[in-house]
Structure 1
């Protein structure tokens, strides 16, 4: 994605997540996750952070929630997404958008169950001073 397109995405989207925040006790941190910050800017009391996130095959974000709304686009691969009931709440293919709700009431995990990396362009819209994602313990699912 060109720099201008990234900036346009950052400004057009309002707020996916990856457990990149400091871990809490018994949290399930991500594995096989790497991220590059493409844009980080504060407007008023909101911080806008655009990241390119890569999940290696077999990787996961770990269980987490976001203090702000998160939006993203799958650039490559297939992202499997599950909520705290352990149910799938979406499978996202290249070219598809994903939006995640905010708050501890929406604990979730993103996983790469495929054999190729998943690459995401993700915009976090969070209150200034808060982490984009908060790691939490596995809610009782047989996977993490």
Structure 2
């Protein structure tokens, strides 16, 4: 296992389609064929990650406020502070992360992804989301 660098200490805005979100990478490890990344994200009130999916599995700890986390079927899913969950890999598990509360949402995320793949891949939101947002 090789540590291959740390990001600067400050949070940086996440790229579009995210709105009202910023992140920082705490640790990166490389093992043969895989990257393991520990990342913190803040989603401001009204913020949204934009629809996306991941090439690898994520483990997420929610703190600060409640995460709204609908999938492609637009069924409302919420995770309260202190909750941990696993996010499966692949386009079939596309989702968005929203903060519909009045205080910042904090996520601590462990990404286990194939070596060199992006943190996420943007996708168009489902038709059902255009009527419920």
TM-score by length of 2: 0.83
- The structure 1 segments of at least 4 consecutive aligned residues displaced by more than 6 Å after TM superposition are none
Q: Mind listing any 5+ residue stretches in structure 1 that lack a counterpart? A: 1-19, 24-28
CA distance in 1, matches of 2:107, 2:19: 15
1:102-135 Cα shifts (integer Å, max 9, x gaps): 0011111111000000001001100001012101
Matched, 1:108 2:95: yes
Q: Which fold has the larger relative contact order, with Cα–Cα distance below 8 Å and residues 6 or more apart in sequence?
A: 1
Structure 1 residue 67: Cα displacement: 0.3
Structure 1 residue 75: Cα displacement: 2.1
Structure-2 residue corresponding to 1:122: 109
CA distance in 2, matches of 1:98, 1:61: 17
Q: 2:78 aligns with which of 69, 83, 91?
A: 91
Q: 2:65 aligns with which of 67, 77, 82?
A: 77
Q: Secondary structure at the match of 1:105?
A: helix
RMSD: 1.5
CA distance in 1, matches of 2:85, 2:18: 19
Q: 1:131 aligns with which of 106, 118, 125?
A: 118
